[in-house]
Chains A and B, each alone.
Chain A
Amino acid sequence: MATTTEPPTAFQFPPHYSFPPFFTLQPVATTRSSQLQSWSTFIQSYCRHHHIFSLSLIDALSTPLFHNTTLSRQLSLRDAKAILTWMASPEGGSRAEFISSTGNKKKAVDEGEGGRVWIYWRRPEEWAAQLEEWVDRTGQKGVVLTLYEIVEGEASVREEFAGMDMELLRMSLGVCVKRGRAQIFSSGGEGEGIKFF
């Protein structure tokens, strides 16, 4: 997990979190859909608060996110996978994506167990827009930035993308490139650089 600096304020758990049945996927379709929606909102705000960009399913099961120790209720692996699958679907707003090690998307869902998942509390397109806005705001257009500088540099310490997962950053910058707003080039060994224009 890409946890960086722990925010000083404690995360405010939603009221659903202290409702025992919330940790059992409801069998009735309408209830279930509202439950999935609540889970999705909860997971996104949790990840946003803790600056988590991707989850490893197995490890996440024992974290406070999926395990409420005061209630001794825990989401089962199967249910957690169901929720994330729903989040990854268009119906769930594509707020998650299974990361595959082989590059095959279909397979990534099946891998499940040890699988890692992007949690898109901002989607790559939204990150791209935010990066562009940041570059614009700080007058760094036309300047060559290293990727490391973007996520770890002093200029971005207060930004939401500080400490961002490199892979996600590359995906987001890829969107910028596709839009014709930036260009990525590698400077040989020193890591990649990017120029916005």
Chain B
Amino acid sequence: MDRRRTPGLSSLSSNRLQTHHYTSHGATLRSRNAQSLETQLSVFQSLVHNFALTHSKDIRANPAFRAEFARMCTALNIDFLASSYHREAKTSSKGGKGGAGAGGESIWASLLGGSVHDFYFNLGVTIVDICRSTRSENGGLISLSDLRTHISRGRAIGSAMTVSDADIEQAVKALEPLGSCFGIVKIGHRSLIRSVPKELNTDQSTVLEAVQVMGYVTVSMLQLNLGWGRPRAVAVVEDLMADSLVWVDCQAGENEYWSPAFITGGGLR
């Protein structure tokens, strides 16, 4: 006898029973799914935890490794630098995806004991230090590569570290909330760290851009290539010189104005 084809009222009740079973089963499945996801997440979290703990030295020491780690974090939508001072915002945004994570404190602060963003703060302090000490030489504009050589040389014993350009940019960004005048300016193809609250006018940046290309400029070069009058060209280079942004070389016939960024790069000729 085929039970499924029962006619009459009894079929109605069994139908209802069936739907009920389906929904309850669905609910169990869903909750089991959520549960397994949660376990997976917590496993993943503890793995990342262990990973960060065992490799925290590498994260600090190896720029390529740190970049990959940071890339992974950005892929997961985790901004580990921001986590330290946007703690509230962090937790709420984390709550959505992290679930089991962060009760009250940011994941990264608890996971890494603050070592990663400590790293960027330390780097920031080092950068400020270097910018200050080289200010009289380069007028407060220092190129990224220059800064990197300074950092890798280290001031105090043991303070030398290898960093990438991305690290420096990150660290300079971390300085922004302090309301300081630190920032990154782009002149030509090069990024420079600016540590003076000075705005360059168009003429000055044009000249600096030319300096980046050639290594130096002369007044007559400016006159020829930019079609400037002599007084204008002279005024601009003298302005730049007064701010230590260029150095003058009087031994080449006509005065040549060099960018101090070329001190570490070596002369071009």
Contacts and interface: CB of A to CB of B under 8 A. Distances in A.
Contact of B256 (A20, A33, A34): A20
Given A31-B136, A31-B137, A20 B263 contact: no
A26 B256 CA distance: 12
A140 interface: no
A24 interface: yes
Interface in B205-252: 216, 241-242, 244, 247-252
Contacts of A28: 241-242, 244
Interface residues on B, range: 20 to 34
Interface residues of A, number: 22
Given A31-B137, A34-B136, A24 B250 contact: yes
A23 B251 contact: yes
A16 B263 contact: yes
Contacts of A31: 136-137, 139, 241, 244, 247
A27 B249 contact: no
A15 B134 CA distance: 14
Contacts of B119: none
Interface string A1-36: 000000000000001101111111011101101110
Contacts of A26: 241, 247-248
A42 to B, nearest CB: 12
A33 B216 CA distance: 21
- Tell me what chain A mostly uses at the interface: helix, strand, loop, or mixed: helix
Nearest to A24: B250
A24 B248 contact: yes
B248 A27 contact: yes
A81 B241 CA distance: 23
Interface string B103-145: 0000000000000000000000000000000101101000000
B262 interface: yes
Interface string A115-133: 0000000000000000000
B153 to A, nearest CB: 11
Contacts of B260: 19
B269 interface: yes
